[in-house]
Structure 1
Amino acid sequence: MPSITLSDIETAHTRIKPYISQTPIIKSSLLNEWLGHEIVFKAECLQKTGAFKMRGALNMMLKAKQEGRLGNEVVASSSGNHAQAVAYAAQVLGVKATIYSAKNISTVKAAATQYYGATLDLSNTRKEADQKVKEAAQKNGALWVPPFNHQDIITGQGTVVFEAMQQTDKISAVAAPVGGGGLISGSLIASKAISPNIQVLGAEPLLANDAAQSLRTGSIQSLTAQPNTLADGAATLAVGQETFPYLQALDGFYEIDEQQIAYWCQWLQHLLKLHVEPTSAMSMAAVVNWLKNQTTRQKVLVILSGGNIDYQKMQQIWQFNHLENMPSL
């Protein structure tokens, strides 16, 4: 398949623009003072359905509609944010949606998915859900909308950085979380096309480090069981064949432990006054690690990928008070 270009991402942005929110760029003067660098945040936690996933799902489904491939039904498997995105997009486009997920799906994300009119099919494990969606797509002739492993999805996710680069300038690095790799892949393509010297950094939970294992071995590795991490949005079992080559081209990759995920989730919620998911907050730990090796002042764009947190997850995040320890390099 041909590689994704900036022109593809620009076309995707034009396609989805009527249906999405242009999320703001925000910053904390206090955080910048403490770190001695300028950190700006693309607040996709304020996107419709509360996450960037809307962009990829809409791009794939709208493109399929333009080409006469959408049909009357879409299917997807997801741990939550992609489920909501597909359900919402299906509602907008007037098609039926069935979402396959594991029973440990966030209750908030499950409720929203059903609110948008999708049928939610729950399995004991994510692996079972992934198998079910494959079978459903073949049996029903429905359009399968994968969470990350498709060029149309990656292209849609690339609109996050494409849009951000029009809202701010002189970015020296971009940081994003890594689950299946769709967001970081799109971010890499858009960043490097606009400014080749930008550094692109990925962050992954240490307890769900299939991507890091894959990068170390040079081939895609899969986790054997569903990882138990605060960053549930990055708890995929394996990255995709479409996304892995982009991961290999990153300028930095960081495995983040649970304490650091909780630490930055608390601090970003406190400093930015935003409801930020642990998965998006995780990227700040990667940024701090990267900044420690920089000798000049940097301007870093951090993608806050989502803001959907249920009560149970919030309790886990705030189990200990990390606000006693101020951020520093």
Structure 2
Amino acid sequence: MVSFADIQQAQDLIAPYIKRTPVVQSSLLNAALGHEIFFKAECMQTTGAFKLRGATHFLCQLKKHDALPEHIVANSSGNHAQAVAYAGALFNVPVTIYSANNISPVKAAATRGYGATLLTFDTRLEADAAVEQASKAHSTVWIPPFNHPYIIAGQGTAALEALKQSDDIDMIATPCGGGGLLGGTLVAARAINKHMQVVGAEPLAANDAAQSLRAGRIIPLSGPAITLADGAATPSVGEHTFELLKSIDDFYEVSEDDIIYWTQWLQHLLKLHIEPTCAMTMQAVVNWLAKQTSKKRVMVVISGGNISQASMQKVWQHDRLSTFPSLSLAKELPQ
């Protein structure tokens, strides 16, 4: 199990390679909701997402133990692909990425731009099977997108950093795909303040984590997920991340309509390029805040800012800015 000490060590190891991203606010949003909302802008991280933290930490650990391989392979829908490609270049190790054909074009282009070879397959499951086979080659290391202690500890540094930048946070929220970010956040948050609430959000159209939490066992999606939150369209959580997710305080499934609404509003209010995957977390925040009886200070991890032209067109097809944010938008019950 990943410990707080692991996250602290990860923070020290990756410090030379990553950005210390800012925490931002919107006075308009704070006034509208009646609470203080802080946003950890990992969309401004190198490669445009928090994923660089985990990938870099993985390779830092290998270097520390004089175990850097001759070849790195990874499977990803986009942000992890870019992170591994970039991190591999930092340590001068060739990288091959395995992905489904529906990978976001902007993420695919960036992955190749960082020097990696990108191989695509009809489905995510085929890509996952191919990377597993490739990982058996001599001096090859597979860097998984979430289900590894090194990855979880690396992702947890985003929360550790954010909670050092803003005091007295009552709740911290992140999106959930495979659970690496949410799991690492939970470990960091609980170590800093055992009373801090930790909340997760997942697309209703890719709700394997919610299904798994309800059943008490890992339940994978029955097929490919169709959601604008492509960063959270993972087939299932992993055994490492699931054990951590069992301890979260609230978990919400978010509709595509709400994902679009909050992507528009956060891009508008924060003036940042924000992915639907992390924008959906605001619906979970509103749902949680609607239950509170006193003013709260909430940290939201804006996990990434890599969004394709096609996704952006879908997001802005209909203007949602005429409906101003308020706690009346709360609708879904926690699972």
Q: TM-score range by the shorter chain?
A: over 0.9
Write the distance in 1 (CA, Å) between the matches of 2:73 and 2:305. 24
Equivalent position amino acid for 2:29 in 1: L
1: CA distance, partners of 2:63 / 2:133: 22
DSSP-derived class of the 2:39 partner: strand
Q: CA deviation at 1:141?
A: 3.6
2:70–2:139 CA contact under 8 A, matched in 1: no
- Separation in 1 of the partners of 2:325 and 2:138? 52
Q: Distance in 1 between matches of 2:183 and 2:21?
A: 20
- Which of the residues 229, 247, 250 maps onto 2:248? 250
Correspondence for 2:74: 76
Q: Which amino acid aligns with 2:254?
A: I
Opposite residue 209 of structure 1, the aligned amino acid is N
User: Given residue 90 of structure 2, which amino acid in structure 1 is its aligned partner?
Assistant: V
The correspondence of residues 92-171 of structure 1 with structure 2, limited to 5 A, is 92-171=90-169
Distance in 1 between residues matched to 2:173 and 2:164, nearest whole Å = 17
Asked if residue 296 in structure 1 is aligned to residue 294 in structure 2, the reply is yes
Give the corresponding residue for 1:324.
Answer: 322
- 1: distance between equivalents of 2:139 and 2:175? 33
Aligned length: 327
Letter in 2 for 1:61: L
Helix, strand or coil at the partner of 1:109: helix
Correspondence for 2:332: none
Specify the code of the residue in structure 2 equivalent to 1:78.
S
Report the CA distance between 1:68 and its aligned residue: 1.9
How far apart in 2 are the matches of 1:8 and 1:86?
A: 20
1:186 aligns with 2:184: yes
Question: Which amino acid letter does the alignment assign opposite residue 286 of structure 1?
Answer: A
> How does the TM-score come out when normalised to structure 2?
0.97
Report SS of the residue matched to 1:184.
helix
The one-letter code matched in structure 2 to 1:134 is E
Structure 2 residue runs without a partner (length 5+) = 328-335
SS at match of 2:299: strand
d(CA) in 2 for partners of 1:310 and 1:218?
35
SS of corresponding position for 1:237: coil
**CA deviations over 1:225-256 (Å, ceiling 9, x no partner):** 11000100000010000000111100000000
Offset from partner CA, 1:145-203 (integer Å, 9 cap, x none): 00000000000000001111111100000000000000000000000001000000000
Structure 1 Cα separation of the partners of residues 202 and 308 of structure 2? 21
The runs of 5 or more residues in structure 1 that have no matched partner are none
Q: TM-score, normalised by structure 1?
A: 0.99
What is the root-mean-square deviation in Å for CA atoms of aligned residues? 0.6
Report the Cα distance in structure 2 between the residues aligned to 1:255 and 1:150, rounded to whole angstroms. Answer: 24
Counterpart-to-counterpart distance in 2, 1:12 and 1:182: 14
In structure 1, the residue corresponding to 2:285 is in which secondary structure? helix
Moved over 3 A (4+): none
User: Matched residues in 1 for 2:317 and 2:187: separation?
Assistant: 38
Q: CA deviation at 1:139?
A: 2.5
* Equivalent of 2:8 in 2, 5, 10: 10
Residue-by-residue CA offset, 1:88-140 (whole Å, 9 max, x unaligned): 00011100000000010000000000001000010000000000000000124
Question: In structure 1, what is the Cα distance between the partners aligned to 2:61 and 2:170?
Answer: 32
